[in-house]
Amino acid sequence: MSSHAGWEAVIGLEIHTQLATQSKIFSGAATAFGAEPNSQACAVDLGLPGVLPVLNAEAVRMAALFGLAVGAHVALESTFDRKNYFYPDLPKGYQISQLAQPIVSGGAVVIAVGEGDKAVQKTIHLTRAHLEEDAGKSLHEDFAGATGIDLNRAGTPLIEIVSEPEMSSAAEAVAYARKIHAMVQYLGICDGNMQEGSFRVDANVSVRRRGDTQLGTRTEVKNVNSFRFLERAIDYEINRQIELIEDGGRVQQQTRLYDPNKDETRMMRTKEAADDYRYFPDPDLLPVIIKPETLEAWRASLPELPDAKAARYQAHYGLSAYDSSVLTSAKQTAAYFEQTLAAMGKAGDAKLVANWVTGTLAAQLNKEGLEISLSPVPADLLAQLLLRVVDNTLSNKLAKEVFDAVWAGEGTPDGIIEARGLKQITDTGAIEAMVGAILAEHPDKVAEYRAGKDKLFGFFVGLVMKAAKGKANPQQLNDVLKSSLGSCGEEGGV
Amino acid sequence: MSYHLKTLTQLRAGLASRAFSARELTVSFLNRMAAHDGGLNSFITQTPEQALLAADLADKRLAAGETGPLLGIPYAHKDIFCTAGVRTTCASKMLGNWVAPYDASVHQKLAAAGAVMLGKTNMDEFAMGSSNENSAFGAVKNPWDHTAVPGGSSGGSAAAVAARLVPIATGSDTGGSIRQPAAYCGITGIKPTYGRVSRFGMIAYASSLDQGGVLGVSAADCAVMLQAMAGHDARDSTSAPVPVPDYVAQLNQPMAGLRIGVPRQWFTQGLSVSVAARIDDALLELEALGATRVAIDLPDAPLALAAYYLIAPAEASSNLSRFDGVRFGHRCADPQDLNDLYERSRSEGFGAEVQRRILIGTYALSAGYYDAFYVRAQRARRQIAAHFASAFAHCDVIAGPVAPNVAFDLGAHSKDPATMYLEDIYTIPVNLAGLPGMSIPVGFAGGRPVGMQLIGPAFTESRLLSVAHHYQQHTDWHQQIPNAYREDVV
């Protein structure tokens, strides 16, 4: 972007969030992912003649929870509309959605822009979040020129969360998307699985010269199934648009697909003429009425959300703002942190746990592309390991070695310490004996040291540590060595 | 045995006393159907084998001492109700031989009651029409005069009952599709309050207006049938959670003091003089029974017609989008691409009137026209409902014509859909307001039957049935049978 000084990007996101209900939004069919094609589509999902939709109340509760969590207006009366268009994976020829009176309007989330402790807060406002049904899937592979249709997904409940166009970089867009992703998982209303399409982000991207007040023509980037791809897709699209305009071209209103293999976006269809979806109120469904007392009960049921949790970590554990926000950025990370700390009992050290979770563990998970919930070192084993650090059984260096062994599946930290004999030598008498033996073997070096060659101190440390097979407590070793060299000198001076 | 001259109550008594079996009864009506339907074309699908199985089952239940008002009673379904195992066509080439994998809620209820389905009746394609000429399975003839239409869209059910091929039949009414064919065929029909009968499994034409109901010989028979069909259904969000009264027990509500509202505006422009005269006769009869006549104002009929022909096609254009040749129904041969598949499947599968209404509806919902057409039509609809509510402050029941004329000749309006649409001018306002309405036979004009419409506030079916029943206790128009269908078939 540095080559594009003088330009700014304007980004808004539409996030399709599949709600984690047991059954579909308008039928009793199951919503589980990965079933045999068309095995989870009943007559209602197939759009057979004569069938009627019946609203799943759980989807309403989940949508309302989201609205409450982002401080939005949750409508006590909302309505369903039909969005009419023909497509083979849209069985009825219309999608039941909410246009005129969505269940959630307004609201905002706060994101951190920038890295580490230099990050600054920015508020991103939401336009709305409405309930709708998902479409099926068209399968273009494996059908030799024809297209297969899997309607298992048809009728899965969604909330489409629409932001205001208030983000100005790919990084901000990712921060916003991550925040929404965290929220829906904290609320337990979405499994958040981007690969399986449970959380689908479309980005509306336009650019304009800095200082311009009018928005540029936007494109909609689809098919982004990870945060990394979201960032790359938006960056690519910003650069493409700027270069296009600088070369004298004009951005066309288009829907573009991101191709992660080529790391580029390409045109899927133009939208120059606005699509006419012929929305009208769905006559098969009554307005959705939420009683005020029901809404209040739902509000009272809200769990602790990321911002509140991060504030508590700072205040209660004395963690830095940055560590707190990293730990709370995903529900499972926060849960892992809290479980580890709890498992350590009275010896729990929040800063130590935070360092390990955001440091060693995060790096290893990242390296192997694993979710924290699938960590080969679960919270109770990390707790056991850190207890051995706290009680000085392990040095930090040995702790890392044990961590790697636990990760590799060699057993529990205590078992590995035992098996490998990694227990730190903290017996002062034993250390004194080793120090005494080493010094006795090297009288010449002792003399040089005493004559002022301070650098030899490290030489002695190395020899003693080698003799101790690395297990001597470093601090104790230092202390013993210092006093021994000193006392030897005194003796020598006699 | 002349079963076809008996009321449902008489048939039930005969079955209960084992004077005759459900199988004998079913065979008798199947024979009538076999003898007469070739000329009428009132059935799309006849189901004699299933009927006999159902009759035998009913006989077993009867033998076990079970009794019920519809146990062993033959009937016909309008071919808009889905029936697992028997094709449902909606009189469209689009559905062809499609067989639903489920039963409509109405069918489930009737089957549970032990009623015996003899077949599925002809209709205007997707219930769009007022003459039953818009059927992929051919026009239906009026039993009273084979050169006349039976009315529509439930024309097959009306003709089958008028010719006594079945004692009773289901129908559906979106803008008059039960009442108008009942009037044209000289039988009794009731369109209940919107939400009274579940729409689940009744193929949608215009969802906010469609309502299932009954076509029968008498109000008393209709009461028995409606009793079995009515009630809340969790599978239809628009069905009403309102208790169903005992329609049969309430047939004899007193007439004294009943205020019958007669809309001034309905007796001025366009109404046939002879139809007006027959209705006046009927009103005199009701007055003689203790009712009083009150003039009321219902100024909206022309507005209602305009609103209906925007709202109904708008909903239809969306409801019928699912017929795309992808998953079921007619699919064109050798589609070149997706658009070709859609265009040819739909152009080949839908008849002209259905295509016309889909186009009108698509237009009415389009960007730039939506506010001018659909939104204004909905506003008109609210106004019409409000005017009915005001009228019911002054009366208990509204009476008036069902249609401006008696049944017209086959082909008379086929070139001019707009004049055909006028047939529904007195029935459409009732659907727009969601109210219950009935048609009862009140005489003849030029040899063709005349019907009178009764309209009540929401969920007053029992009062409408009772008024009709009183009238039928003192008249015999409902017992008239066309000459050709009067005799037993042996």
Residues A166, A260: one domain? yes
Residue A274 has pLDDT above 70, yes or no: no
Whether residue B36 lies inside any domain: the answer is yes
Is the per-residue pLDDT at A114 higher than 90? no
Closest alpha carbon within chain B to A83: B318
CA A223 from centre of chain: 19
Q: Percentage of residues in chain A with pLDDT exceeding 90? A: 67
The strand pairing partners of B272, in sequence order, are none
* Mean pLDDT, rounded, of chain B: 96
Same domain, A459 and A337: no
Lowest mean pLDDT among A411-420, B59-68, B174-183, B480-489: A411-420
Q: If contacts are CB pairs under 8 Å, which of residues 379-438 in chain B contact chain A?
A: none
* A76 CB-contact burial (10 Å; exposed 0-12 / middle 13-18 / buried 19+): middle
* Kind plus residue range of the DSSP H or E element containing B442: strand B437-445
Q: Report in angstroms the alpha-carbon separations of B265 from B277, B291, B400.
A: 16, 21, 10
Question: Would the CB atoms of A278 and B367 count as touching at under 8 Å?
Answer: yes
**How much is the pLDDT for B419?**
82
Q: What CATH number does residue A436 fall under? A: 1.10.10.410
pLDDT score of A487 more than 80: no
Residue B360 placed within a domain: no
- List all residues 6 or more positions away from B208 whose beta carbon is below 8 Å from its beta carbon: A283, B194, B238, B311, B315
Has residue B477 been placed in a domain? Answer: yes
Q: Per the domain annotation, does B286 fall within a domain?
A: no
8 A C-beta contact, residue A484 and residue A440: no
pLDDT of residue A127: 98
Residue B316 has pLDDT above 60, yes or no: yes
Which residue type does B221 have? D
Tokens of A104: 């959630």
Q: How confident is the model at residue A466 (pLDDT cuts 50, 70, 90)?
A: confident
pLDDT above 70 covers a percentage of chain B that reads 100
Question: What ipTM was assigned to the predicted interfaces of this complex?
Answer: 0.95
CATH of the domain at B432: 3.90.1300.10
Is B335 a residue whose pLDDT tops 50?
A: yes
Give mean pLDDT, residues A72-98: 97
> What span, in angstroms and rounded, lies between the C-alpha atoms of A393 and A418?
11
CB spacing of B203 vs A50 below 8 angstroms: yes
Final residue in a domain of this structure, among A393, A420, A447:
A420
Chain A CB contacts of B201 under 8 Å are 50-51
Question: Which residues of B participate in catalysis according to the annotation?
Answer: 78, 153, 177
Same domain, A381 and A485: no
Asked whether residue A270 falls in the same domain as residue A176, the answer is yes
Largest CA distance in chain B: 69
Tokens 């069985």 identify what position?
A91
Which of the listed residues A420, A443, A475 is the one where a domain comes to its end?
A420
Residue A488 pLDDT class (50, 70, 90 cuts): very low
Of A420, A450, A467, the residue that ends a domain is A420
Count the domains in chain B.
Answer: 1
The answer on A433 and A407 residing in a single domain is no
Residue A1, pLDDT above cutoff 50:
no
Q: To the nearest whole number, what is the mean pLDDT of chain A?
A: 91
Could you list the residue range(s) of the whole structural domain that residue A103 is in?
Answer: 2-296
Judge if A230 and A137 occupy the same domain. Answer: yes
E strands, A213-358, are 219-224, 254-259, 264-270, 280-281, 288-289
Same domain, A8 and A152: yes
In a shared domain, residues A178 and A30? yes
Q: What is the average per-residue pLDDT within A273-296?
A: 93
Peptide linkage before B153 cis (omega within 30 of 0): yes
From chain A, pick out residues whose CB is under 8 angstroms from the CB of B320.
93
**Residues A222 and A271 grouped into a single domain:** yes
> Do A320 and A292 lie in a common domain?
no
- Phi first, then psi: give them for residue B263, nearest 5 degrees: -70, 120
Q: Which domain holds residue B221?
A: 3-255+426-485
Q: Do B88 and A50 touch (CB under 8 A)?
A: yes
Are A149 and A229 in a shared domain?
A: yes
Q: Do A69 and A198 have their domain in common?
A: yes
- pLDDT reported for residue A272: 57
For residue A271, name the pLDDT band (cuts at 50, 70, 90): low
Q: How confident is the model at residue A2 (pLDDT cuts 50, 70, 90)?
A: very low
Residue among B106, B211, B322, B337 with most chain A CBs within 10 A, to mutate: B322
Does position A489 have pLDDT exceeding 50, yes or no?
no
B396-433 burial, b if ≥16 CB within 10 A, otherwise e?
bbbbbbbbbbbbbebebbeeebeebbbbbbbbbbbbbb
Asked whether residue B351 is assigned to any structural domain, the reply reads no
Distance from CA of A308 to the nearest CA of B (A): 40
Question: B233 at the A interface (CB within 8 A)?
Answer: no
